[in-house]
Structure 1
């Protein structure tokens, strides 16, 4: 069997082993799980709770496999919302809490807002635990304020007003009611107009202002009859009947109480129908809960088994890779062109070593610049300032003092200024404080004079910041190029331009100087271009030089941008 055949066989074995590891282990994509979750939400809104529960359970299991806390929390929220619609409040309460546990591990304030609001609803209107309900409403308000959702702020403050008024704490609920009355027309929802009128009626009943209370109660009932929200209409008739009873209008009080009872009976019938529908769901609710609780533990078991399989197959892959590497090495050593390849390899190694030495030297210089600049600024400059202050204190307290004191004071001030200037030259404070683009603009301005003018142009926002080391390296590369123009070009005009293009920073520097033969770029060590090229290679970038004698020079540099590290926050689709 030839060498080529051996390699082919090993590659086939390697491919087969790798495919075996991941066969039937493909994870769903985030897009697929999101689509599944959205389908579950849509089914719930259409009233297909059985199908929505099945979809959302499948979405939950896949979200757990992805270990995506956003998707897990969203799936739990959809499951809970289904049970909420089916008046299965205990189960809704359980899954809202599960969802909030995972949502709190994310930066998704929209989802946290919904989950806290829904928990507040259950605590206040089902469990009648108002203190806990108010706590969750306030957490919801905190998140809706953070995301600047004006409509949600109005909605949450409406719930807080309702909770406080329901337990007779009108003065605590009043600030929220005032806010809703002021902002509801602009940011509110017409579906909440019934509740808002009813709450105003309750407040004016509490304040013993019957005319205003009557106006708002009748307005609430009027809008309630025009809409489809039976629960708010029922509550309005109930509060109105209490108001009428308090004011001695027993006939109308009884009439409104009768309407309240009729609407309540309708709501109870609808709730019984919903529960009957729940009983008809193929997946039993209690069993559904147990199955969902098992998903996480089952996934952890499967994940452990998968990790063991991957570890075992990884060893196989390593062994096969080692065999392949050994065969390639033997082939290389005994091939006819081994000597030529060896020479080329040595040449490349020397070139790489030289480049590494240059980069190490450059990095060392930059590190020393930072250390010396910091030492001069933090220590020497501080000592000189302290000495100057002592002399100033002495001269302030003594009217007569030797002339040497004044000379010493002047010398210290001059030394302080020189240390400060040296510190800024070693490490420009403008670069550290305001970023690369302000520093380069300042550099061009400082180097411009009546003989040579440097123009700075950039399409990038001046406030844009990159990685600190990246900015420092780019700054000193450009500073070295500007120095070359000043020393060697005999130019009168030069332009530095900056732009971003597909995650690349493009730097163009041109001048109208005497130029040189760019074909001899590799031997132009006197200009320091080799060191500049090494710096750019260290940044995994490229430099393009175009110059002709007496026709100026254009230098273009493209380097991949290194951004400061940060966490992105995926936005969960609101329901």
Structure 2
């Protein structure tokens, strides 16, 4: 009797769970349909009902799917007057617990879009860089294309040079793109160049797109390419080529209109035939469903009874064996982890000692050179003056007052040289706190004078670089910032520092008066030649993009081992 009651309880519980699951899915599908029909309030209400039922059933995958759908709906419809972020937060939490790289990448991209729409560009960039970290795995590398593309558009308005940098990064990933994606990226880059009035460069990108054969949408892309080429040729005054591409544009447009009309007629006919078949199938399904339901109920009762007994026994046996195995594995892992930690600590200790010794040796050598080259000659001269004073005290051949003044000037000069050496040492001390901290302190100190505002944007500098490399980079940034203050007449500047894929990227931009690099005298005191030499020694690249009246951008890439 007790077994029969237990059996009936199990059956009723299973039936109730299945019923809730069907209801949750029903509301979810209904919400999708409402959303498709632009009935967004109804869609939102049905998503919420579906989410509540999935929460009661504790089906994590379905809960996450609902949260993402609700986020997308609210984000795209301002009239709902809801905050979408909590739903995205829940989806992100699920992705972290699941440890699924694809889900995490999707969540990070949605965060970036959310902050982009909220005009929080700095936060949006941060999430796009986090998403880039995930694309290092081979199965996600294709998503780099869209992320670099978004980063390009993110900088189009305020930082066009940085936008161009990311457009080029995107087009550098040709192997990861389909032909359609490649053509789309060429067109996007050409539009950016056209807006910058760089018509010849825009034409070059469109020409690359023109020769690519596509699997689908060839006419649609041809129409766009020909139209843009015609406009660009018109802007540069080549009316013959402009007319040629306007003719091609009209031919592609007419062909596209005819094709779309035929497709629309075919779709209507297909829809009619599908609806007719669906009605016939629906009647047949209803009859079959009733028969199948009765058969399933009988079989379900039998299977539940057998499965409950078999699984109960198996679960007990497997759980007992599994607990023993886990205990042994835990003990082994604990021992291995202990050994790893000891080895790691020793390696870290040796690395730290070597770095300290190397850094101290370099610093001693630099100070010794400064003392020998700068202070040594002054002290030697000072010694001669004192000897002259001693000899002249008795013979009075030279004006005593003049000798005293010269000697005093030499003492002042020696004091200033010692003071400069001490200040140079202090710069190293600041850099020893970390490159990022040093740059931020420098920017804060300069900005506090209210003559220029310097913003520092960073990504990926979660760990220290080699000490001498940090000091060299800090001095380069310090010298370039000094150039902006002394020569650019700028009111705003930004220092972007990012470490990604073992590459340190530094972008320094200002809104100053700009300069012509070709007309610049490299020995005029700005230190550009010296900076180029140091970066070449580090096996890095140094690019300057400056336009008179529109400020300057300096892009530095340095490989980090």
Note whether the superposition's TM-score is higher than 0.5: no
> TM-score, normalization: structure 2?
0.32
TM-score when normalising by structure 1: 0.32
Larger-gyration structure (1/2): 1
Q: Which has the higher contact order (CA 8 A, sep 6+)?
A: 1
